[in-house]
Structure 1
Amino acid sequence: MTTADSPHRADGWTAAVRQRLGLGRLLPLGGPADGAWIAERAAAAVLRDASTGSGAVLGVLRIAPGDTPDTDGTPPGDPVPGPPSALPHGPLRIEAGFSATARRPLTATADALREALLTAASRRLGLVVDEVDLRVTGLLEEEPGPAARTADEHHAAEPDGPAGAAAAGVPGVVSLTRVLGSPVQKEAGHVRVELSTAGDHRALDVARAVRGAVSAAVEGDPAVSVLVTAVVDRN
Protein backbone atom coordinates (compact mmCIF):
# COMPACT_ATOMS: atom_id res chain seq x y z
CA MET A 1 0.00 0.00 0.00
CA THR A 2 1.25 3.45 -0.87
CA THR A 3 1.04 6.12 1.80
CA ALA A 4 1.24 9.87 1.51
CA ASP A 5 4.63 10.06 3.10
CA SER A 6 6.23 7.14 1.22
CA PRO A 7 8.34 9.44 -1.05
CA HIS A 8 9.65 11.23 2.03
CA ARG A 9 10.56 7.95 3.66
CA ALA A 10 12.30 6.82 0.48
CA ASP A 11 14.22 10.10 0.28
CA GLY A 12 15.28 9.74 3.91
CA TRP A 13 16.47 6.18 3.35
CA THR A 14 18.39 7.20 0.22
CA ALA A 15 20.06 10.08 2.07
CA ALA A 16 21.06 7.74 4.90
CA VAL A 17 22.61 5.26 2.46
CA ARG A 18 24.53 8.01 0.67
CA GLN A 19 25.73 9.37 3.97
CA ARG A 20 26.92 5.94 5.09
CA LEU A 21 28.68 5.22 1.80
CA GLY A 22 30.33 8.63 1.98
CA LEU A 23 32.26 7.52 5.03
CA GLY A 24 34.26 5.04 2.96
CA ARG A 25 35.82 2.07 4.70
CA LEU A 26 35.70 1.92 8.48
CA LEU A 27 39.38 1.61 9.36
CA PRO A 28 40.83 0.14 12.55
CA LEU A 29 42.71 2.44 14.91
CA GLY A 30 45.50 0.96 17.00
CA GLY A 31 45.35 -2.75 17.78
CA PRO A 32 42.59 -5.30 18.46
CA ALA A 33 42.40 -4.41 22.16
CA ASP A 34 41.72 -0.73 21.38
CA GLY A 35 38.18 -1.24 20.07
CA ALA A 36 38.36 1.87 17.88
CA TRP A 37 37.67 2.65 14.23
CA ILE A 38 37.73 5.74 12.01
CA ALA A 39 35.92 6.55 8.77
CA GLU A 40 38.18 6.53 5.72
CA ARG A 41 36.83 9.95 4.71
CA ALA A 42 37.94 11.44 8.03
CA ALA A 43 41.36 9.80 7.88
CA ALA A 44 41.92 10.87 4.27
CA ALA A 45 41.18 14.52 5.12
CA VAL A 46 43.91 14.48 7.76
CA LEU A 47 46.38 12.81 5.40
CA ARG A 48 45.67 15.35 2.66
CA ASP A 49 46.26 18.15 5.11
CA ALA A 50 49.56 16.57 6.13
CA SER A 51 50.74 16.32 2.52
CA THR A 52 50.91 20.10 2.20
CA GLY A 53 54.56 21.11 2.03
CA SER A 54 55.77 17.84 0.52
CA GLY A 55 55.82 19.36 -2.98
CA ALA A 56 53.07 17.01 -4.13
CA VAL A 57 49.39 17.47 -4.85
CA LEU A 58 47.43 14.39 -3.90
CA GLY A 59 44.88 12.93 -6.28
CA VAL A 60 42.83 9.85 -5.49
CA LEU A 61 43.69 8.48 -2.04
CA ARG A 62 42.47 5.19 -0.60
CA ILE A 63 43.29 3.32 2.59
CA ALA A 64 42.97 -0.44 2.31
CA PRO A 65 43.91 -3.58 4.23
CA GLY A 66 47.63 -4.29 3.97
CA ASP A 67 49.21 -7.30 2.33
CA THR A 68 51.07 -8.39 5.46
CA PRO A 69 49.37 -11.53 6.81
CA ASP A 70 48.96 -12.37 10.47
CA THR A 71 51.67 -14.64 11.90
CA ASP A 72 49.52 -17.78 11.59
CA GLY A 73 47.98 -16.80 8.25
CA THR A 74 44.56 -15.88 9.69
CA PRO A 75 43.04 -12.41 10.01
CA PRO A 76 43.53 -10.79 13.41
CA GLY A 77 40.53 -11.03 15.70
CA ASP A 78 38.79 -8.15 17.42
CA PRO A 79 37.79 -8.82 21.03
CA VAL A 80 35.47 -5.78 20.92
CA PRO A 81 32.64 -5.81 18.34
CA GLY A 82 33.14 -3.16 15.70
CA PRO A 83 30.62 -1.19 13.63
CA PRO A 84 28.83 -3.03 10.80
CA SER A 85 31.20 -3.82 7.88
CA ALA A 86 34.24 -2.40 9.73
CA LEU A 87 37.64 -3.77 8.76
CA PRO A 88 39.26 -6.04 11.36
CA HIS A 89 42.38 -4.75 13.07
CA GLY A 90 45.55 -5.33 11.10
CA PRO A 91 48.13 -3.38 9.05
CA LEU A 92 46.83 -0.97 6.42
CA ARG A 93 48.09 0.28 3.07
CA ILE A 94 47.78 3.83 1.73
CA GLU A 95 47.35 4.09 -2.03
CA ALA A 96 47.57 7.50 -3.68
CA GLY A 97 48.28 9.27 -6.91
CA PHE A 98 50.04 12.64 -6.96
CA SER A 99 51.19 15.44 -9.21
CA ALA A 100 54.43 17.41 -8.80
CA THR A 101 56.86 19.58 -10.69
CA ALA A 102 60.01 18.19 -12.27
CA ARG A 103 62.16 20.82 -10.56
CA ARG A 104 63.41 18.16 -8.20
CA PRO A 105 63.53 14.39 -8.72
CA LEU A 106 60.11 12.81 -8.49
CA THR A 107 61.58 10.10 -6.29
CA ALA A 108 62.55 12.76 -3.74
CA THR A 109 59.04 14.22 -3.80
CA ALA A 110 57.57 10.74 -3.40
CA ASP A 111 59.85 10.08 -0.42
CA ALA A 112 58.79 13.34 1.25
CA LEU A 113 55.12 12.59 0.61
CA ARG A 114 55.44 9.04 1.92
CA GLU A 115 57.08 10.27 5.11
CA ALA A 116 54.40 12.92 5.63
CA LEU A 117 51.60 10.37 5.19
CA LEU A 118 53.19 7.80 7.50
CA THR A 119 53.85 10.40 10.20
CA ALA A 120 50.32 11.77 10.08
CA ALA A 121 48.78 8.30 10.07
CA SER A 122 50.67 7.37 13.22
CA ARG A 123 50.92 10.60 15.19
CA ARG A 124 47.67 12.34 14.33
CA LEU A 125 45.36 9.36 13.90
CA GLY A 126 46.77 6.12 15.30
CA LEU A 127 46.49 4.09 12.09
CA VAL A 128 48.86 1.14 11.73
CA VAL A 129 50.21 1.52 8.17
CA ASP A 130 52.90 -0.77 6.83
CA GLU A 131 52.93 0.35 3.19
CA VAL A 132 52.43 3.51 1.14
CA ASP A 133 51.91 2.87 -2.58
CA LEU A 134 52.42 6.08 -4.59
CA ARG A 135 52.19 6.72 -8.31
CA VAL A 136 52.83 9.87 -10.36
CA THR A 137 49.70 10.91 -12.22
CA GLY A 138 50.72 14.32 -13.58
CA LEU A 139 53.36 17.04 -13.83
CA LEU A 140 52.89 20.59 -12.57
CA GLU A 141 54.42 23.72 -14.05
CA GLU A 142 54.55 25.57 -10.72
CA GLU A 143 55.19 24.50 -7.15
CA PRO A 144 51.89 23.87 -5.39
CA GLY A 145 50.73 26.36 -2.81
CA PRO A 146 49.03 25.54 0.49
CA ALA A 147 45.74 23.72 -0.03
CA ALA A 148 42.62 24.82 1.81
CA ARG A 149 41.15 22.04 3.90
CA THR A 150 37.47 21.33 3.32
CA ALA A 151 35.42 21.50 6.49
CA ASP A 152 34.25 18.08 7.64
CA GLU A 153 30.55 17.41 8.02
CA HIS A 154 30.31 15.82 11.42
CA HIS A 155 26.51 15.64 11.97
CA ALA A 156 26.62 16.70 15.61
CA ALA A 157 24.22 15.05 18.04
CA GLU A 158 23.32 15.93 21.60
CA PRO A 159 24.61 13.51 24.26
CA ASP A 160 21.90 11.36 25.80
CA GLY A 161 22.19 9.16 28.87
CA PRO A 162 25.22 8.32 31.01
CA ALA A 163 27.25 6.86 28.13
CA GLY A 164 26.71 9.87 25.88
CA ALA A 165 27.44 12.37 28.64
CA ALA A 166 30.62 10.53 29.62
CA ALA A 167 31.87 10.40 26.02
CA ALA A 168 31.06 14.05 25.32
CA GLY A 169 33.07 15.15 28.36
CA VAL A 170 36.34 13.59 27.21
CA PRO A 171 38.98 16.11 26.05
CA GLY A 172 39.38 15.98 22.29
CA VAL A 173 35.75 15.03 21.61
CA VAL A 174 34.15 17.76 19.48
CA SER A 175 30.69 16.19 19.53
CA LEU A 176 28.83 12.95 19.34
CA THR A 177 27.59 12.19 15.80
CA ARG A 178 24.79 10.24 14.19
CA VAL A 179 25.85 8.81 10.83
CA LEU A 180 25.18 5.11 11.39
CA GLY A 181 22.22 5.73 13.66
CA SER A 182 22.02 6.94 17.24
CA PRO A 183 25.27 8.34 18.66
CA VAL A 184 25.19 5.65 21.36
CA GLN A 185 24.20 2.15 20.30
CA LYS A 186 23.54 -0.41 23.05
CA GLU A 187 23.35 -4.17 22.71
CA ALA A 188 23.73 -6.98 25.20
CA GLY A 189 27.07 -6.38 26.89
CA HIS A 190 28.23 -3.84 24.29
CA VAL A 191 28.08 -0.07 23.80
CA ARG A 192 29.22 1.67 20.61
CA VAL A 193 29.81 5.42 20.59
CA GLU A 194 30.02 7.51 17.42
CA LEU A 195 31.80 10.88 17.56
CA SER A 196 34.05 13.49 15.98
CA THR A 197 37.46 14.39 17.36
CA ALA A 198 39.51 17.58 17.37
CA GLY A 199 42.36 17.85 14.90
CA ASP A 200 44.83 18.78 17.63
CA HIS A 201 44.22 15.48 19.47
CA ARG A 202 45.35 12.06 18.29
CA ALA A 203 42.18 10.21 17.33
CA LEU A 204 43.27 6.90 18.89
CA ASP A 205 44.10 8.54 22.22
CA VAL A 206 40.69 10.21 22.32
CA ALA A 207 38.97 6.91 21.50
CA ARG A 208 40.84 5.13 24.27
CA ALA A 209 39.84 7.80 26.78
CA VAL A 210 36.21 7.62 25.64
CA ARG A 211 36.16 3.86 26.10
CA GLY A 212 37.42 4.23 29.65
CA ALA A 213 34.95 6.99 30.50
CA VAL A 214 31.94 5.14 29.05
CA SER A 215 32.90 1.87 30.68
CA ALA A 216 33.04 3.61 34.07
CA ALA A 217 29.71 5.37 33.52
CA VAL A 218 27.64 2.37 32.41
CA GLU A 219 26.70 -0.44 34.75
CA GLY A 220 27.60 -4.01 33.93
CA ASP A 221 31.14 -3.42 32.63
CA PRO A 222 30.14 -3.54 28.93
CA ALA A 223 32.55 -3.84 26.04
CA VAL A 224 32.87 -0.36 24.51
CA SER A 225 33.81 0.49 20.94
CA VAL A 226 34.30 3.90 19.34
CA LEU A 227 33.79 5.07 15.76
CA VAL A 228 35.36 8.40 14.74
CA THR A 229 33.34 9.79 11.84
CA ALA A 230 35.13 13.13 11.44
CA VAL A 231 38.28 14.96 12.52
CA VAL A 232 37.46 18.63 12.96
CA ASP A 233 39.90 21.53 12.75
CA ARG A 234 38.72 24.00 15.41
CA ASN A 235 41.19 26.75 14.51
Structure 2
Amino acid sequence: MTTADAVRRRLGLGRLLPLGGAADGAWLTEQAAEAVLRRAAAGVPGVAPGGMRLAPVDPGAADRPAVPPPPSALPPGPLRIETDFAAVAGEPLPVLADALRTALFLAARELLDLAVTEVDLRVTELLDTAADTWEPTAPPGVRAVTATDLAGEAASRAPGVAHLTATLGTAVHLAPDHVRIELATASGHRPLEVVRAVREAVTDALGDGRPVSVLVTAVAE
Protein backbone atom coordinates (compact mmCIF):
# COMPACT_ATOMS: atom_id res chain seq x y z
CA MET A 1 0.00 0.00 0.00
CA THR A 2 1.33 3.43 -0.95
CA THR A 3 1.42 6.34 1.48
CA ALA A 4 -1.37 8.04 -0.48
CA ASP A 5 -3.53 4.91 -0.23
CA ALA A 6 -2.92 4.76 3.52
CA VAL A 7 -3.93 8.40 3.97
CA ARG A 8 -7.11 7.94 1.91
CA ARG A 9 -8.04 4.86 3.94
CA ARG A 10 -7.39 6.65 7.24
CA LEU A 11 -9.46 9.68 6.22
CA GLY A 12 -12.31 7.40 5.17
CA LEU A 13 -12.58 6.09 8.72
CA GLY A 14 -13.45 9.54 10.06
CA ARG A 15 -12.87 10.30 13.70
CA LEU A 16 -11.99 7.60 16.21
CA LEU A 17 -14.80 7.90 18.73
CA PRO A 18 -14.47 6.91 22.41
CA LEU A 19 -16.38 3.72 23.19
CA GLY A 20 -17.44 3.36 26.80
CA GLY A 21 -15.54 5.18 29.53
CA ALA A 22 -11.93 6.03 30.22
CA ALA A 23 -11.27 2.59 31.74
CA ASP A 24 -12.57 0.66 28.71
CA GLY A 25 -9.67 1.50 26.40
CA ALA A 26 -11.86 1.30 23.31
CA TRP A 27 -12.64 3.35 20.22
CA LEU A 28 -15.06 3.08 17.31
CA THR A 29 -14.50 4.56 13.87
CA GLU A 30 -16.91 7.30 12.84
CA GLN A 31 -17.44 5.41 9.59
CA ALA A 32 -18.73 2.34 11.45
CA ALA A 33 -20.92 4.44 13.73
CA GLU A 34 -22.41 6.40 10.84
CA ALA A 35 -23.40 3.23 9.00
CA VAL A 36 -25.46 2.04 11.98
CA LEU A 37 -26.93 5.48 12.69
CA ARG A 38 -27.94 5.96 9.06
CA ARG A 39 -29.79 2.65 9.06
CA ALA A 40 -31.68 3.77 12.15
CA ALA A 41 -32.48 7.17 10.61
CA ALA A 42 -33.65 5.59 7.36
CA GLY A 43 -36.21 3.61 9.35
CA VAL A 44 -38.02 6.80 10.40
CA PRO A 45 -40.97 7.40 8.00
CA GLY A 46 -40.96 10.75 6.25
CA VAL A 47 -37.27 11.60 6.59
CA ALA A 48 -34.13 11.05 4.54
CA PRO A 49 -30.81 11.40 6.40
CA GLY A 50 -28.17 13.67 4.89
CA GLY A 51 -24.79 14.73 6.17
CA MET A 52 -23.85 13.32 9.58
CA ARG A 53 -21.04 14.08 11.99
CA LEU A 54 -20.11 12.97 15.50
CA ALA A 55 -18.07 15.21 17.75
CA PRO A 56 -17.27 15.75 21.45
CA VAL A 57 -19.79 17.85 23.36
CA ASP A 58 -16.99 19.55 25.31
CA PRO A 59 -13.45 18.62 24.21
CA GLY A 60 -11.99 20.46 27.17
CA ALA A 61 -13.84 18.30 29.67
CA ALA A 62 -12.87 14.92 28.22
CA ASP A 63 -11.35 12.20 30.41
CA ARG A 64 -7.86 10.75 30.09
CA PRO A 65 -7.95 7.20 28.69
CA ALA A 66 -6.56 4.45 30.88
CA VAL A 67 -4.58 2.93 27.98
CA PRO A 68 -2.61 4.48 25.11
CA PRO A 69 -5.14 5.53 22.42
CA PRO A 70 -4.81 4.98 18.66
CA PRO A 71 -3.31 7.90 16.71
CA SER A 72 -5.61 10.95 16.64
CA ALA A 73 -8.30 9.22 18.71
CA LEU A 74 -10.77 11.39 20.61
CA PRO A 75 -10.54 11.18 24.41
CA PRO A 76 -13.42 9.62 26.38
CA GLY A 77 -16.36 11.94 26.98
CA PRO A 78 -19.94 12.73 25.89
CA LEU A 79 -20.63 12.96 22.15
CA ARG A 80 -22.96 14.97 19.94
CA ILE A 81 -24.57 13.78 16.70
CA GLU A 82 -25.09 16.50 14.09
CA THR A 83 -27.39 15.48 11.22
CA ASP A 84 -28.98 17.10 8.20
CA PHE A 85 -32.20 15.58 6.88
CA ALA A 86 -34.85 16.02 4.24
CA ALA A 87 -38.49 15.85 5.32
CA VAL A 88 -41.73 15.06 3.50
CA ALA A 89 -43.73 18.24 2.96
CA GLY A 90 -46.99 18.40 4.87
CA GLU A 91 -45.76 16.33 7.80
CA PRO A 92 -45.28 18.26 11.07
CA LEU A 93 -41.55 18.98 11.26
CA PRO A 94 -41.39 18.85 15.09
CA VAL A 95 -42.92 15.36 15.02
CA LEU A 96 -40.47 14.14 12.37
CA ALA A 97 -37.53 15.70 14.20
CA ASP A 98 -38.53 14.10 17.51
CA ALA A 99 -38.86 10.68 15.86
CA LEU A 100 -35.47 11.02 14.17
CA ARG A 101 -33.79 12.25 17.34
CA THR A 102 -35.22 9.32 19.31
CA ALA A 103 -34.08 6.81 16.69
CA LEU A 104 -30.54 8.18 16.73
CA PHE A 105 -30.34 8.25 20.51
CA LEU A 106 -31.54 4.64 20.75
CA ALA A 107 -29.17 3.39 18.06
CA ALA A 108 -26.20 5.17 19.64
CA ARG A 109 -26.97 3.73 23.05
CA GLU A 110 -28.38 0.27 22.32
CA LEU A 111 -26.41 -0.72 19.20
CA LEU A 112 -23.13 1.19 19.51
CA ASP A 113 -22.64 1.85 23.25
CA LEU A 114 -21.66 5.45 22.46
CA ALA A 115 -22.13 8.12 25.14
CA VAL A 116 -24.26 10.41 22.96
CA THR A 117 -25.94 13.13 25.03
CA GLU A 118 -26.98 15.57 22.30
CA VAL A 119 -28.51 15.25 18.81
CA ASP A 120 -28.60 18.40 16.68
CA LEU A 121 -30.86 18.28 13.61
CA ARG A 122 -31.20 20.59 10.63
CA VAL A 123 -33.86 20.36 7.89
CA THR A 124 -32.22 20.98 4.50
CA GLU A 125 -34.99 20.04 2.07
CA LEU A 126 -38.75 19.43 1.84
CA LEU A 127 -39.77 16.45 -0.28
CA ASP A 128 -43.03 16.09 -2.24
CA THR A 129 -43.19 12.36 -1.58
CA ALA A 130 -41.71 9.86 0.83
CA ALA A 131 -37.96 9.49 0.61
CA ASP A 132 -36.41 6.53 -1.14
CA THR A 133 -35.21 3.79 1.17
CA TRP A 134 -31.57 4.25 2.05
CA GLU A 135 -29.49 1.17 1.26
CA PRO A 136 -26.21 0.79 3.15
CA THR A 137 -23.07 0.09 1.18
CA ALA A 138 -20.01 -1.82 2.30
CA PRO A 139 -17.60 0.59 4.03
CA PRO A 140 -14.28 0.98 2.22
CA GLY A 141 -11.03 0.10 3.90
CA VAL A 142 -12.42 -2.56 6.27
CA ARG A 143 -11.02 -5.94 5.35
CA ALA A 144 -10.79 -9.18 7.27
CA VAL A 145 -7.36 -10.49 8.17
CA THR A 146 -6.15 -13.74 9.67
CA ALA A 147 -4.57 -13.83 13.10
CA THR A 148 -0.93 -14.89 13.00
CA ASP A 149 0.24 -14.31 16.55
CA LEU A 150 -0.77 -15.13 20.11
CA ALA A 151 -2.61 -11.85 20.75
CA GLY A 152 -4.45 -11.99 17.44
CA GLU A 153 -5.53 -15.59 17.93
CA ALA A 154 -6.83 -14.81 21.41
CA ALA A 155 -8.76 -11.78 20.14
CA SER A 156 -10.23 -13.76 17.23
CA ARG A 157 -11.65 -16.38 19.59
CA ALA A 158 -13.29 -13.86 21.95
CA PRO A 159 -17.11 -13.85 21.94
CA GLY A 160 -18.62 -11.45 19.45
CA VAL A 161 -15.58 -10.96 17.23
CA ALA A 162 -16.51 -11.38 13.56
CA HIS A 163 -12.93 -11.01 12.38
CA LEU A 164 -9.84 -8.89 12.82
CA THR A 165 -9.33 -5.91 10.51
CA ALA A 166 -6.34 -3.89 9.36
CA THR A 167 -7.21 -0.30 8.55
CA LEU A 168 -4.54 1.51 10.57
CA GLY A 169 -1.80 -0.78 9.39
CA THR A 170 -2.00 -4.12 11.20
CA ALA A 171 -4.73 -5.92 13.10
CA VAL A 172 -2.45 -6.38 16.11
CA HIS A 173 -0.12 -3.55 17.08
CA LEU A 174 2.44 -4.70 19.63
CA ALA A 175 4.37 -1.91 21.36
CA PRO A 176 6.69 -2.22 24.36
CA ASP A 177 4.16 -0.47 26.61
CA HIS A 178 0.80 -1.50 25.13
CA VAL A 179 -1.12 -3.66 22.65
CA ARG A 180 -3.82 -2.51 20.22
CA ILE A 181 -6.30 -4.86 18.56
CA GLU A 182 -8.44 -3.87 15.55
CA LEU A 183 -11.62 -5.80 14.79
CA ALA A 184 -15.19 -6.01 13.50
CA THR A 185 -18.01 -7.14 15.79
CA ALA A 186 -20.46 -9.91 14.93
CA SER A 187 -24.22 -9.55 14.66
CA GLY A 188 -26.11 -9.74 17.95
CA HIS A 189 -23.19 -8.58 20.10
CA ARG A 190 -22.85 -5.16 21.67
CA PRO A 191 -19.52 -3.50 20.88
CA LEU A 192 -18.55 -2.72 24.45
CA GLU A 193 -19.15 -6.28 25.60
CA VAL A 194 -16.98 -7.54 22.74
CA VAL A 195 -14.23 -5.06 23.59
CA ARG A 196 -14.12 -6.14 27.21
CA ALA A 197 -13.99 -9.81 26.25
CA VAL A 198 -11.14 -9.14 23.81
CA ARG A 199 -9.12 -7.14 26.32
CA GLU A 200 -9.46 -9.92 28.89
CA ALA A 201 -8.56 -12.65 26.38
CA VAL A 202 -5.49 -10.83 25.07
CA THR A 203 -4.30 -9.88 28.56
CA ASP A 204 -4.56 -13.52 29.67
CA ALA A 205 -2.85 -14.80 26.53
CA LEU A 206 0.15 -12.48 26.72
CA GLY A 207 0.48 -12.51 30.50
CA ASP A 208 2.96 -9.64 30.57
CA GLY A 209 0.76 -6.91 32.04
CA ARG A 210 0.74 -4.66 28.98
CA PRO A 211 -2.50 -2.62 28.72
CA VAL A 212 -4.73 -3.53 25.78
CA SER A 213 -6.79 -1.11 23.71
CA VAL A 214 -9.32 -2.03 21.02
CA LEU A 215 -10.42 -0.25 17.85
CA VAL A 216 -13.75 -1.35 16.36
CA THR A 217 -13.91 -0.62 12.64
CA ALA A 218 -17.22 -2.31 11.72
CA VAL A 219 -20.39 -3.19 13.63
CA ALA A 220 -22.85 -5.85 12.46
CA GLU A 221 -26.39 -5.48 13.79
Is TM-score (shorter-chain normalized) higher than 0.5?
A: yes
Alignment partners' CA distance in 2, 1:104 and 1:67: 34
| One-letter amino acid of the structure 2 residue matched with residue 58 of structure 1 | P
Give the AA of the match of 1:138.
E
Aligned residue-pair number: 219
Match of 1:114, SS state, is: helix
Contact 2:31 2:139 in 1 (8 A): no
| Letter in structure 1 aligned against 2:28 | I
1:41 is aligned to 2:31: yes
Tell whether 2:50 aligns with 1:59.
yes
Q: Which of residues 184, 190, 198 is equivalent to 1:196? A: 184
Change (3 A) 1:108 1:197: same
Equivalent residue runs for 1:67-82 within 5 Å = 67=58, 70=61, 75-82=62-69
Give the deviation of 1:150 after TM superposition: 1.0
Q: Can you list the C-alpha shifts for 1:101-145, whole angstroms capped at 9, x where unaligned?
A: 123211111111011101110110110011100000001111234
Report the Cα distance in structure 2 between the residues aligned to 1:107 and 1:68, rounded to whole angstroms.
29
1-structure distance, mates of 2:59, 2:168? 30
CA drift of 1:207 comes to 1.1
What does residue 148 of structure 1 align with? 135
Matched, 1:178 2:166: yes
Contact 1:152 1:232 in 2 (8 A): no
Corresponding residue to 1:97 among 72, 76, 84: 84
Given that 2:42 and 2:49 are in contact with CA atoms closer than 8 Å, whether structure 1 keeps it comes out as no
Corresponding letter in the other structure for 2:127? L
Cα offset, 1:53, TM superposition: 2.4
> Within 2, Cα distance between the matches of 1:19 and 1:110?
33
Deviation at 1:69, TM superposition (A): 5.9
Structure 2 counterpart of 1:4: none
Question: In the alignment, residue 27 of structure 1 is paired with which amino acid?
Answer: L
Aligned equivalents of 2:4, 2:188: Cα separation in 1: 34
> Hey, what's the Cα distance between the residues in 2 that align with 1:79 and 1:166?
21
Q: CA RMSD in A?
A: 1.5
CA offsets 1:169-198 (integer angstroms, 9 cap, x no match): 122211111111111011123110011112
Are 1:223 and 2:178 an aligned pair?
no
Unaligned runs of 5+ in 1: 1-10
Give ranges in structure 2 of 5+ residues lacking alignment.
none
Q: Which residue of 2 aligns with 1:207?
A: 195
TM-score (norm: length of structure 2)? 0.94
Does residue 19 of structure 1 match 2:6? Answer: no
Runs of 4+ residues over 3 Å off in structure 1? 67-70
Determine the structure 2 residue equivalent to 1:127: 114
